[in-house]
Chains A and B, each alone.
Chain A
């Protein structure tokens, strides 16, 4: 379903990524762990097709949903529009159902700036899962949230993933997220960064600490 074989990614004169190979079957969930700045987001952008300046090859499914680090909402469009613009086949009833799923059932006509930070993330989550998708890519979307809100959002994300049956690639520096969202984890490490896997449970525990 997803096959990634990245050999080389350079920014300016610096090589950021070395060999990064992974395969994902339909419905499989994978977390990529690594410290901040190692190149996790770069790898995810390559997987999504947002970055094409690299050596290697990626075979990706057609239906991809991506959740960015920030909520990335259209501030000038209301919540319904923020969903339906990106899912043109969706009806308003489906958009309403998606909003209700993330606890924003009464916010359809609100603009993003009228929402709290947590609500904005919920809207972003609803946008990610509104349509049937084969692969969901999460780029540390809950990093800036407080621990309680982050736990809520992770739980909500897992439920939505369970319902959708989509495969997942999730990058994070927080090993706690792996347990909640994924079935497997690989680590991005070194300079240039390469994928190391599988990660033994002991390493995850160390990262956790």
Chain B
């Protein structure tokens, strides 16, 4: 385990080193600034308070879209997995939304609803929703009918059945959907901000792009990567270990 951590650190070090060497070889900070220059820019943005403002705005949009997509996708995916007739009705819609390009959804949301927060959050939610529905549907389909029989014959109340049978069975699928969904949200939310918001990391990347400031683009982008890593290692991975802890004893 310690070896694995070491390998990961060394691997990250090699990436930074390669970047530094490439920046040195190109010798043009306008095109490829070194990691040190980008880190200095991040530090400046942090000290000025700009970075926090935009990170918080982006995070709020992520939290909204994530919560909505997980709740709606969880419920819809579950009922589709449990009721074949409902699945037959909703599956064509799911296929359409799964294959609709993210950009189309974003543009349509902005055109129909306006350049506002509602449209931005809805666009991200709609992009993530089909993925969550698909994963939860599979979880519901794979759920054990024997355990439902068990709950019925021992007369578990609907609440206890949900708490002790349905939810724990779905939990690994919910965590998988959350992780896969977050990876979609990371990508979409920046595009949504890039195209139609006045704040957020995506907007700042747009601004830096328009003045051809690659150091600024990289500084904002890397700040966002740090945020993603923070959520991945401090929230998602521990959550996944918790959800599957009984499997690790096998």
Instruction: Confirm or deny: B112 has a beta carbon within 8 angstroms of a beta carbon on chain A.
Output: no
- With A and B bound together, what is the CA distance between A20 and B146 in angstroms? 24
Instruction: Confirm or deny: B233 has a beta carbon within 8 angstroms of a beta carbon on chain A.
Output: no
Q: Which of A66, A70, A76, A88 contacts B246 (CB 8 A)?
A: A76
Interchain nearest-CB distance for A171 vs B (Å): 15
Q: Note all chain A residues with C-beta closer than 8 A to B144.
A: 72
- With A and B bound together, what is the CA distance between A77 and B171 in angstroms? 13
Residues 215 to 250 of chain B near chain A (Cβ within 8 Å): 246-247, 249-250
Among A81, A85, A113, the one with the most B-chain Cβ atoms within 10 Å of its Cβ is A85
- With A and B bound together, what is the CA distance between A49 and B151 in angstroms? 12
Q: How many residues of B contact A (CB 8 A)?
A: 18
Q: Which of B146, B156, B246, B249 contacts A72 (CB 8 A)?
A: B146
Residues 107 to 148 of chain A near chain B (Cβ within 8 Å): 111, 113-114
Interchain nearest-CB distance for B209 vs A (Å): 48
Q: Note all chain B residues with C-beta closer than 8 A to A66.
A: 149-150, 153-154
Residues 116 to 173 of chain B near chain A (Cβ within 8 Å): 144, 146-147, 149-150, 152-154, 156, 160, 164-165, 168, 171
A70, B146: Cβ atoms under 8 Å? yes
Q: Note all chain A residues with C-beta closer than 8 A to B165.
A: 74
Q: Note all chain A residues with C-beta closer than 8 A to B247.
A: 75, 113
A75, B146: Cβ atoms under 8 Å? no
Q: How many residues of A contact B (CB 8 A)?
A: 22
- A67-97 vs B, Cβ < 8 Å mask (1 yes, 0 no): 0101010111100010001111000000000
Interchain nearest-CB distance for A57 vs B (Å): 19
Interchain nearest-CB distance for A74 vs B (Å): 6
Residues 45 to 75 of chain A near chain B (Cβ within 8 Å): 45, 48-50, 64-66, 68, 70, 72, 74-75
Q: Note all chain B residues with C-beta closer than 8 A to A86.
A: 150, 154, 156
B153, A113: Cβ atoms under 8 Å? no
Interchain nearest-CB distance for B146 vs A (Å): 5
A113, B249: Cβ atoms under 8 Å? yes
B146, A113: Cβ atoms under 8 Å? no
Interchain nearest-CB distance for B13 vs A (Å): 39
A74, B164: Cβ atoms under 8 Å? yes
Given contacts A77-B164, A113-B247, 18 further A-B contacts (CB under 8 A): A45-B149, A48-B153, A49-B152, A49-B153, A65-B153, A66-B150, A66-B154, A68-B146, A68-B149, A72-B146, A72-B149, A76-B171, A81-B164, A85-B160, A85-B164, A86-B150, A86-B154, A86-B156
Residues of B within 8 A of A (CB): 144, 146-147, 149-150, 152-154, 156, 160, 164-165, 168, 171, 246-247, 249-250
